[in-house]
Amino acid sequence: MKIRNATGEEMRSLWDRLDMEIPEPTTDFFYENISSGNADFWTIDDDGELIGELYAFYDLPDSDFADGKTTAYLCAFRVRKGYRGKGLGSLLMTQVLEDLRNKGLKRVTIGVGPDEPQNVRLYRRFGFMTKIKDCHYDPCGMDENGDPEYEEDPWWLLSKEL
Ligand SMILES: CC(C)(COP(=O)(O)OP(=O)(O)OC[C@H]1O[C@@H](n2cnc3c(N)ncnc32)[C@H](O)[C@@H]1OP(=O)(O)O)[C@@H](O)C(=O)NCCC(=O)NCCS
């Protein structure tokens, strides 16, 4: 089991096998940003099987999320079912935070639903203590038309100093 950076191609093949439908424009957005260097993808590699993922975006149109200088936005944090609750997500998050600190980033942001108490607790444990704002749009989540996906129920954008 090792944590490493992965490519846009690996993201595409991982998402093809997910049991959730991700709109093609979202996949394209992630792929283009990883390819251009505006995003990084970290994975948990279990003997060639990718069982975890976490992405950082460096520059986004809404600078509350990522401002191209000091603040990066973390998203699509997932560990494959059957592997959850064993500390793997925490290992992945720890490595990503350390890598971002080493890159010179000063702050990271992450989104979470107030109706996801387990995730809120996990992020608080990692030090995401500041709530920046309520959000209805994820700047990295596109609908079938390629527009940022609107979510009726607001979710929180949290931040942590590195
Ligand atoms: C969130 C997630 C990536 C954490 O990875 P993980 O390997 O389960 O995390 P760890 O084992 O290191 O930590 C467990 C913590 O994760 C949280 N958690 C959230 N969903 C969980 C689940 N389905 N199973 C177990 N833990 C979960 C809990 O807060 C738990 O902490 P606790 O011990 O205080 O209850 C993973 O559970 C997951 O993929 N969940 C579904 C996708 C998701 O909700 N992503 C976050 C979007 S905001």
Residue 123 CB–ligand 1 contact under 6 Å = no
Residues in CB range of 117: below 8 A, 6 or more apart: none
Contact 57, 63 (CB under 8 A): no
Domain span holding position 72: 2-161
Residue 94 CB–ligand 1 contact under 6 Å = no
Residue 121 CB–ligand 1 contact under 6 Å = yes
* pLDDT tens-digit readout, 63-99: 999 999 999 999 999 999 999 999 999 999 999 999 9
Using 50, 70 and 90 to split pLDDT, how confident is the model at 20?
confident
Q: Whose CA is nearest to atom 23 of ligand 1?
A: 84
Using 50, 70 and 90 to split pLDDT, how confident is the model at 18?
confident
How many domains does one find in the chain? 1
Atom of ligand 1 nearest to the CA of 125: 34
Contact 30, 56 (CB under 8 A): no
Atom of ligand 1 nearest to the CA of 80: 39
Q: What is the CATH number of the domain that holds 58?
A: 3.40.630.30
